[in-house]
Amino acid sequence: MKKIMITISALALTAIMAGCEPKTVNVDTTNDTGKAVVALDYRDFERAAAVMIESLSKSTQLNKPDGSRYVMAVSRIINDTMQRIDTDQLTAKIEEELLNSGRVVLTAAVRGTTNLDGSSGADQMVMDVRELRNNDEFNTDTTIAKGQLIAPELSLSGKILQRNIGYDKKTQQIEYYFQLKVADLASGLVIWQKEEVIAKRASNKAAAW
């Protein structure tokens, strides 16, 4: 009888603990009315990307004189915040809009170091497939000849910075600076640049990482 009572008590405790677990809900990312968070979330990246895209779309510097499209490479996007973030969160949407605009074409062969592990974001297959030239198992008529890669003409680079400022005795202000620029690789001149600031206020006890 004691064993049965212990088993029932254990089951009851499990049920109570399960009932105390926080409820998980799906987030409507198209209309998220949830509370703001101290750290950067997807809404912040979407907002920053939207501002950058609007500025880029108004720029005439991406209009090539002969009407063709510029070849652009994504260079290094530096994460200078207290958070471990993947900067591709910022550039992915911008790259998508740039491609859809028809004004530039992006190269997958050249890319700056942006990944969390320090590796390049370039498509390694672009280079790996060229190693097949020396493999006797492949028909040489189907391998890619030398001199086919197109060098980039423009470079997209930037930085995300964070500043924590004491607002009052109980509150801190966290400022995030999203900075991007496009440079002409032939001349080294910057032809477009934009900064977007996202600021948040929270308790001094809140951790911004």
Question: What pLDDT digit, counting tens, does each position of 30-44 carry?
Answer: 677 678 888 888 999
Whole-structure pTM over 0.85, yes or no? no
106, 98 Cβ separation under 8 angstroms:
yes
C-alpha distances (whole Å) from 87 to each of 91, 112, 134 are 7, 11, 36
SS3 assignment, position 76 = strand
Question: What pLDDT digit, counting tens, does each position of 5-20 carry?
Answer: 555 555 555 555 555 5
C-alpha distances (whole Å) from 159 to each of 8, 79, 156 are 58, 6, 11
Q: Encoding tokens for residue 144?
A: 């890619």
The top-scoring range by mean pLDDT among 117-126, 140-149, 187-196 is 187-196
Domain layout of the chain by residue ranges: 38-120+150-203
pLDDT score, position 87: 83
CA angle at 69 for the pair 68 and 70, rounded to the nearest 5°: 125
Please check whether the domain covering 38-120+150-203 is classified as CATH 3.40.1350: no
DSSP secondary structure letter of residue 142: T
Q: Is the model more confident about 166 or about 121?
A: 166
What burial class does residue 81 get, using C-beta atoms within 10 Å of its C-beta: 0-12 exposed, 13-18 middle, 19+ buried? buried
The predicted model gives 51-74 an average pLDDT of 92
Residue keyed to tokens 């910075």: 161
The predicted model gives 147-159 an average pLDDT of 94
Sequence-distant (6+) residues with CB within 8 A of 85 are 40, 79, 160
CA angle at 91 for the pair 154 and 57, rounded to the nearest 5°: 65
Q: Is the model more confident about 170 or about 4?
A: 170
122, 150 Cβ separation under 8 angstroms:
no
